[in-house]
């Protein structure tokens, strides 16, 4: 009996030590599509607060794999430091903890985008094209391919797509066409949107989308529907605009999405539609509370507020994608 009592005491002590010392999960156990989050309505909501949307500066919308089992996004943990691509994946029907993507974590990488078949991820990066090259500060488009053990080594998309200036915000359509923004020479403004068509197993010389889309200001970070039926991008005003493709191949005039997104001045950017077409993601630096404190705060209290999600840094929102259908001109419906 005495030995049994000693065994029970030792067992309890072991469990106590294990529970005290074992690493704790930083997020709750998540299960189901979109990390188990409740789908939004027509009012934009934070996406996965405390999990993907945090007090840090989220700098892309989430990109889920075609089968919904992986998600990638980019974030600045230190606003002036390198941008990092993060990932979560579903294992044994549950989502893993957020971690740095295997092809990121050293250089400034951002805006990941899956190919239609889920075998490639396109992204922007400030990494050197060749090992040992001096740092130039320019951003190029890169691609990484899936291999048996995960992901291979990132590949530069070459100097037909990249210009030596900067190219950012890749978006790949169902036919393989690659849309992105660039400040290369010959554009209409500071940053224009281009398309490099996928032809005979390679990308063609990028084509400027023209003056209907591009202006003297900045048009950045495009999202183009898989069937190329519409285009959404960030404008110089900080609002998101949408164009629809007409039957003759031209684009409609720009339509401001601010009213649908309940935007009243903040910067909205990084548009992206979910793979199933049901929800629309975007990033916004809108302040979720008041632009002032309800009372005078101490330094410690102000620092604590700065670590909250509603600190005015970029946050990821999502909303019912039917707002896109509502914006479509009647003559195209």
Nearest Cα to Cα of residue 261 among 312, 313, 327: 327
Mean pLDDT to the nearest integer, 286-303: 80
Give the pLDDT score at 11. Answer: 37
User: What tokens appear for 1 in the block?
Assistant: 């009996």
Q: What 3-state class would DSSP assign to 89?
A: strand
Instruction: Kindly indicate the confidence band of residue 3, based on its pLDDT and cuts at 50, 70 and 90.
Output: very low
Nearest Cα to Cα of residue 161 among 101, 100, 129, 203: 203
Give the pLDDT score at 95. Answer: 97
Instruction: Kindly indicate the confidence band of residue 79, based on its pLDDT and cuts at 50, 70 and 90.
Output: confident
CB distance 35 to 307 below 8 Å: no
Q: Which residues pair with 114 in a beta bridge?
A: 121
CB distance 33 to 302 below 8 Å: no
What span, in angstroms and rounded, lies between the C-alpha atoms of 13 and 175?
A: 61
Give the pLDDT score at 46. Answer: 96
Mean pLDDT to the nearest integer, 218-222: 97
Domain 21-332 CATH (choose: 1.10.1060, 2.60.40, 2.120.10, 1.10.357):
2.120.10
Q: Which of 12-21, 110-119, 260-269, 291-300 has the highest mean pLDDT?
A: 110-119
Instruction: Kindly indicate the confidence band of residue 296, based on its pLDDT and cuts at 50, 70 and 90.
Output: very high
- What pLDDT digit, counting tens, does each position of 282-291 carry? 999 887 666 6
CB distance 292 to 253 below 8 Å: no
Q: What 3-state class would DSSP assign to 140?
A: strand
Give the pLDDT score at 306. Answer: 83
Measured CA distances, 215 to 220, 254, 257, 272, 320 (Å): 11, 11, 18, 22, 29
Q: Where are the domains of the chain?
A: 21-332
E strand or H helix that includes residue 299: helix 299-306
Decide if pLDDT at 75 tops 70. Answer: yes
Give the pLDDT score at 8. Answer: 35
Asked which of 33-42, 203-212, 264-273 is least confident by mean pLDDT, the reply is 264-273
Q: What 3-state class would DSSP assign to 13?
A: helix
């Amino acid at each position: 009996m005495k030995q049994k009592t000693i065994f029970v005491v030792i067992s309890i002590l072991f469990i106590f030590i294990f529970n005290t010392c074992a690493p704790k999960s930083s997020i709750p156990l998540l299960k189901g599509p979109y990390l188990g989050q409740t789908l939004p309505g027509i009012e934009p909501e934070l996406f996965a607060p405390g999990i993907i949307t945090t007090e840090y500066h989220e700098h892309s919308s989430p990109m889920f794999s075609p089968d919904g089992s992986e998600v990638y996004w980019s974030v600045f943990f230190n606003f002036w430091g390198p941008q990092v691509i993060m990932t979560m994946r579903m294992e044994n029907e549950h989502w893993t903890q957020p971690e740095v993507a295997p092809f990121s974590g050293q250089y400034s990488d951002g805006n990941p985008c899956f190919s239609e078949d889920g075998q490639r991820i396109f992204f922007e990066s400030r990494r050197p094209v060749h090992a040992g090259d001096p740092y130039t500060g320019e951003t190029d488009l890169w691609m990484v391919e899936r291999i048996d053990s995960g992901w291979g080594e990132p590949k530069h998309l070459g100097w037909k797509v990249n210009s030596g200036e900067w190219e950012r915000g890749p978006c790949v359509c169902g036919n393989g066409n690659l849309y992105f923004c660039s400040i290369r020479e010959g554009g209409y403004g500071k940053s224009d949107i281009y398309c490099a068509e996928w032809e005979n197993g390679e990308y063609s010389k990028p084509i400027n989308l023209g003056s209907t889309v591009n202006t003297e200001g900045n048009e950045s970070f495009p999202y183009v529907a898989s069937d190329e039926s519409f285009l959404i991008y960030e404008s110089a005003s900080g609002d998101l605009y949408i164009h629809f493709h007409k039957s003759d191949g031209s684009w409609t005039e720009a339509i401001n999405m601010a009213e649908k997104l309940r935007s009243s001045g903040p910067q909205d950017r990084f548009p992206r539609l979910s793979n199933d077409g049901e929800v629309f993601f975007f990033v916004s630096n809108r302040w979720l509370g008041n632009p002032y404190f309800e009372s005078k705060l101490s330094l410690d209290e102000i620092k604590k507020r700065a670590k909250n999600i509603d600190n005015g840094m970029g946050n990821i929102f999502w909303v019912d994608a039917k707002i896109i259908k509502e914006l479509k001109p009647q003559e195209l419906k």
